[in-house]
Amino acid sequence: MGLLVVGSIALDSVITPFGETADALGGAAVFFAMAGAVLHPVQVVGVVGNDFPEAHLQKLAARGVDLAGVEGQPGESFRWKARYSYDLNSRETLETRLGVFADFQPRIPEKFRDAKFVFLGNIDPELQLNVLDQVKQPKLVACDTMNYWIQGKKDLLLELLRHIDILMVNDSEARELSGDWNVYRAAHWILGRGPKMVVIKQGEHGALLVDPTTMFKVPAYPLQEVFDPTGAGDAFAGGFMGYLASTGDVSDASLRRAMVYGAALGSFAVEAFGVEGLADVTLADVRARVRAFKDLVHFDMDEANRP
């Protein structure tokens, strides 16, 4: 079952208290693909400029990622620069240079149009809708967005919500979109606009899956070393969608497991700079971490009814 992602392919420059990178491989579609490909082949649609290093694309190819949808355009690649605070909980965007990404018009290659699992990375909601017109009959569509689109293109975003299965956003985006500070009420507000489910990413507090009748919460893996939180959310999405695509199962039980696979891949992403934390991860590593999650949250009720 094809797994398609559309989103940014970037040259990231990131400063954390532990070091910095310059023009490193990054972008939402890249983190998604590097994570998802551990579980299931990923097809990428995006754009790069003619300054994009071939070696960066090779890293994705080495993971078996299908790059047939990556267009090269004359001009500069998308560049993003950010600095994290000492506790890594907040970051400041220092520079966003759109380059060829400014005129990105996603064209889905014919061989990707049958994809059953589709992730619409954080791009203009107009383009996200346009991608949905090009794919034939997806089984599950998940979608990310950001404050910029919530503020600038809310009507189109609301239109998009009517056509997707899962909105996957962080807590501040859910609050801003709904206008409600309470994330649980915010999730239900979003559910009222069309999606069957909402996944709210909460950084070091894990992630929450909400549907109209139930909720499921996965913690973040308790890491003693975090180097670079960039792309954790996209790696989470890659793990989540990669698990679903590899099983083809979208039952409630499978969605709960997908949340844990997402959290596992997100945790590998933050253990090193850029995509390096994901580059050598094996399926066995992921399974071992998923098992660790099981131990982390498992408990038995005291059935004797003692207090």
Q: What does the binding site for ligand AMP look like in residue numbers (CB under 6 A)?
A: 8, 10, 12, 26-28, 80, 96, 122, 230-234
Question: Which CB sits closer to ligand AMP, 69 or 233?
Answer: 233
Question: Which CB sits closer to ligand AMP, 96 or 134?
Answer: 96
Other residues' Cβ atoms within 10 Å of the Cβ of residue 284: 8
Question: Which CB sits closer to ligand AMP, 235 or 244?
Answer: 235
Which residue matches tokens 């099983």?
A: 247
In whole angstroms, how close is the CB of 145 to ligand AMP at the nearest point?
A: 10
Whether 6 and 119 have beta carbons less than 8 Å apart is answered as: yes
Question: Which CB sits closer to ligand AMP, 122 or 128?
Answer: 122
In whole angstroms, how close is the CB of 91 to ligand AMP at the nearest point?
A: 8
In whole angstroms, how close is the CB of 24 to ligand AMP at the nearest point?
A: 9
Quote the strand ranges of the chain, DSSP E. Answer: 3-6, 10-16, 19-20, 24-26, 43-49, 66-73, 78-84, 91-97, 117-120, 140-143, 166-170, 197-201, 207-210, 215-218
Taking 3-state DSSP, the helix, strand and coil percentages for the chain, each rounded to the nearest 5, stand at: 40, 25, 35
Question: Which CB sits closer to ligand AMP, 135 or 169?
Answer: 169
In whole angstroms, how close is the CB of 121 to ligand AMP at the nearest point?
A: 7
Question: Which CB sits closer to ligand AMP, 26 or 195?
Answer: 26
- What region does 194 belong to: left with phi over 0, alpha with psi -120 to 50, or beta? left
In whole angstroms, how close is the CB of 301 to ligand AMP at the nearest point?
A: 37
Per-residue tokens: 283: 């399926």
In whole angstroms, how close is the CB of 146 to ligand AMP at the nearest point?
A: 6
In terms of Cα–Cα distance, which of 244, 247, 226, 232 is closest to 34? 232
